[in-house]
A and B are shown apart, each in its own frame.
Chain A
Amino acid sequence: MRALVIDDSRTMRSVLGRQLHQLGYDVLQAGDGQEALDVLEAAGGDLPDVATVDWNMPVMDGLTFVKTLRQRAEWRTIALMMVTTEAEQGQIVRALAAGAHEYLIKPFPPEAFAEKLDLLGLSTARETA
């Protein structure tokens, strides 16, 4: 299993990367939405199964990344989980409407992250290739 961690904080990339490793994922990283798109272009057919997406990032924020990603048919197999401090109900609604499949509010205990990853298998919005 492969994961892409998108967050402008090196610390958060390290924390999430560590948790994903422990769950058996190979981990790619990106510091903003544009960098993440570049990583995906470079990945070719070897796409990650899931991407964790921070909201507030320079260059391209998480919401824009989600919208951009969902416009590319070949990338629709990637499950998208927002991982962000944006905790308002309206923000969650916006992110889901933009195409995110799951949403995790920071901070969160490691168990919650693992449970959310598990839930992504249930998401009917996620199309399999």
Chain B
Amino acid sequence: MALSSNAFAFVSDLVRRESAIVLEQGKEYLVESRLLPLAREAGLPGVNEYVTRLQTGGTVADKAAVVEALTTNETSWFRDKEPFEALATTVIPDLLQRNAARRKITIWSAACSSGQEAYTIAMQMAEHVLPLGWSVDIVATDLAGSMLERTKAGRYSQLEVGRGLPAPMLVKHFTRQGTHWEVNERLRSMVRVQKINLATPFPPLPVFDIVFLRNVLIYFDATTKKSILERVRRVITPQGYLFLGGAETTLGVDDGWERTAVGRCTVNRPRSASTPTVAPPRGISIPREKVV
């Protein structure tokens, strides 16, 4: 039996709330094929029946399984390349000088999703920083518990590791387990997860040398964007580096940042100023949405 529109609406709503990925009309086949194995495991004849059970009495684990089934295979490693090249050519060498006393680099991967960005950063650190005996702390945060679980597990399917990950990095930093690949302990030990809703005041955080805030601001309104960027400025070092997504900018949004080109990449660094910031108005958080 074909997926009912009610079932599709429920599932796409759940996925949007939990992962910010939007399943548009036309993706019914994706929902059917990805959820049918779960329905069968539950001893149910089809996806409609499975969704009905979710609606009436689904556990957190059930819902997390649904979100995971529908959001795997959608993201890639070294996404957009340039920020990671900038890390290797410019940012890391700068920090190796600047942090010479601390011998530590602290990084925030905000809206980390299933963790590819955090572990990509970890791979760059493993190549350029760890061999020098320095320590690295990568804080990977997201709104959705299911995404944090995935990031913590560091376990990716054969299809997922084929997305933009250089083969030499794959064999060096991952170990194959059946049809999946798991990040090695060396990478995993650099990454810790934390649940954070960017639109609300941040919990206590370290002061970061580098912040990755990519492709998430675009889903907030102007006021919230400015508020987030102001709050990020409070948890970044005065010479810290902020990376946004390729199509995003701080220009016209928050004037507390200076933009510099590093290769083909724009990095944002706190503008040196001592004027106190005005507390942002409390607004309604608008869910970020990524269209699949």
Interface residues of A (CB under 8 A from B): 87-89, 92-93, 96, 100-105, 108-109, 111-112, 115-116, 118-119, 122-123
With a CB–CB cut-off of 8 A, which chain A residues contact B170? 92, 103
A123 to B78, CA, bound (A): 14
A89-B175, A89-B176, A115-B76 known; A104+B166 contact, CB < 8 A: no
Contact A103 B167 (CB under 8 A): yes
The residue in chain B whose Cβ has the minimal distance to the Cβ of A120 is B166
CB proximity of B86 to chain A, nearest CB, Å: 13
Please tell me if the beta carbons of A108 and B159 are within 8 angstroms of each other in the complex.
Answer: yes
A102 engages B166 (CB within 8 Å): yes
Q: List 19 A-B contacts (CB under 8 A).
A: A89-B171, A92-B171, A93-B171, A96-B167, A100-B167, A103-B167, A105-B158, A105-B162, A111-B76, A111-B163, A112-B163, A112-B164, A115-B76, A115-B164, A116-B162, A116-B164, A118-B81, A119-B166, A122-B81
A112 and B159 contact, Cβ closer than 8 Å, known pairs A89-B176, A122-B81: yes
| New contact pairs (6) apart from A122-B166, A123-B166, CB-CB < 8 Å | A92-B170, A102-B166, A104-B162, A112-B159, A112-B163, A119-B164
User: In the complex, what distance in Å separates the CA atom of A122 from the CA atom of B77?
Assistant: 14
B: number of interface residues (CB 8 Å): 17
- Per-residue A-contact encoding for B140-178, CB less than 8 Å = 1, 0 else: 000000000000000000110011101110110001100
A42 to B217, CA, bound (A): 53
10 tightest A-B contacts by CB?
A103-B167, A115-B164, A89-B176, A112-B162, A92-B171, A93-B171, A102-B167, A108-B162, A112-B163, A119-B166
CB neighbours of A93 from chain B (8 A): 171
Residues of B within 8 A of A115 (CB): 76, 163-164
